[in-house]
Structure 1
Amino acid sequence: MNLLRRTAAALASVVALSACAGNSTLADEEARMERSRQVWNAQGIDDYRMIVSVSAGMIAGSATIEVRDGVPVSVQRTEGGPQTLPLSAFARYDTVEELFAVLEQAFENGSDEIEALYDSTLGVPLSVAIDPMKNAIDEEHGFLVNGFTKL
């Protein structure tokens, strides 16, 4: 299964799992995000590596990102799968703080649906699906974080 299909399947799973819960509101999601951000901040992790897969409409890509002292120092394409996103697109996703910023912007913009899963120990957003307008086509986007490693 190629990267685009894996990313789409994972994002669909997040949406499906959340839909099954049925009781999750945007306020609940935003509160979960804030709690996870507090957990992340409490860790004090400044050096890490993560693989970030991004999907937006019909484009997708995956990059291995290394962060030192809280600053991205390396963004490299991950092997395998389609790479329709330019590496410059990962500037929005190149630190855990930026991942939280993507979520925060979705809440501020009044997105219709926001579904996220977080690492319970580190607070890192692991899987995020955002649907800005529920009845529009191809504006959904999200990301997955794999292989998060403290350095």
Structure 2
Amino acid sequence: MRPSIRKFAAAGCVAILAACGDPTGSAGDPAALSRALERWSVQDIDDYRMTIRLQGGMLAGHARITVRDGQTVSVQPLAPDEGMPPRFFEHLDTVDELFEVLIDAHNDDAHRIDVQYHPQLGVPMDVYIDPERNAIDEEHGFKIEVFEIL
């Protein structure tokens, strides 16, 4: 992971923790986010492949993404008939960006954030975000089905 992204993400987590009065409320657990980000950061993993499935809202699809030196080098939709071109994964094609999605959800006071992290690596593996309590079809998330260090 590039040092600048680590600093940005760590600063974002600190801001989340400072802004939250109840870290165990319906908006998820920012302390867990901070711990997971720290676990991921200390791993210093820059080369990996993940299979990610988009979930919720009006979009669904999955792709295999390869990252080298912290940069996305390949996004391969696994079911082209789903109509999900690689650009639909642009904001989710590195682990750093997965953390940014969670940080943004916390900063935007999302109504509900459910997340499961990889216990050793800290990678957000299963995420559901409901930005607004009474809105329809704005829920979204992702699931990492396979994560492989290269």
Confirm or deny a common fold (TM above 0.5).
Answer: yes
Compute the displacement of 1:26 (Å): 4.9
Q: Is there any run of 5+ residues in structure 2 with no aligned partner, and where?
A: 1-22
Alpha-carbon distance in 2 for matches of 1:89, 1:78: 13
Number of matched pairs: 128
SS in 2 for 1:59: coil
Alpha-carbon distance in 2 for matches of 1:118, 1:97: 14
SS in 2 for 1:116: strand
Compute the displacement of 1:46 (Å): 0.4
Matched AA of 2:149: K
Q: Is there any run of 5+ residues in structure 1 with no aligned partner, and where?
A: 1-22
Alpha-carbon distance in 2 for matches of 1:138, 1:27: 18
Per-residue CA deviations over 1:87-115 (Å, capped at 9, x if unaligned) read 20101000000000000111111110001
CA RMSD of aligned residues (A): 1.8
CA contact (8 A) 1:51 1:63 kept: yes
Q: Report the TM-score when normalising by structure 1.
A: 0.79
CA contact (8 A) 2:28 2:114 kept: no
CA contact (8 A) 1:59 1:84 kept: no
Alpha-carbon distance in 2 for matches of 1:111, 1:84: 28
Please identify, of 127-136 and 84-93, the stretch whose mean Cα deviation from structure 2 is larger: 84-93
CA contact (8 A) 1:114 1:130 kept: yes
Indicate the residue corresponding to 2:7 in structure 1: none
CA contact (8 A) 1:40 1:124 kept: yes
Q: What aligned pairs does 1:37-48 form with structure 2 within 5 A after superposition?
A: 37-48=37-48
Matched AA of 1:144: K
Alpha-carbon distance in 1 for matches of 2:82, 2:71: 24
Q: For residues 84 and 24 of structure 1, do their structure 2 counterparts lie closer, same or farther at Cα, with a shift above 3 Å needed?
A: farther
Matched AA of 1:125: P
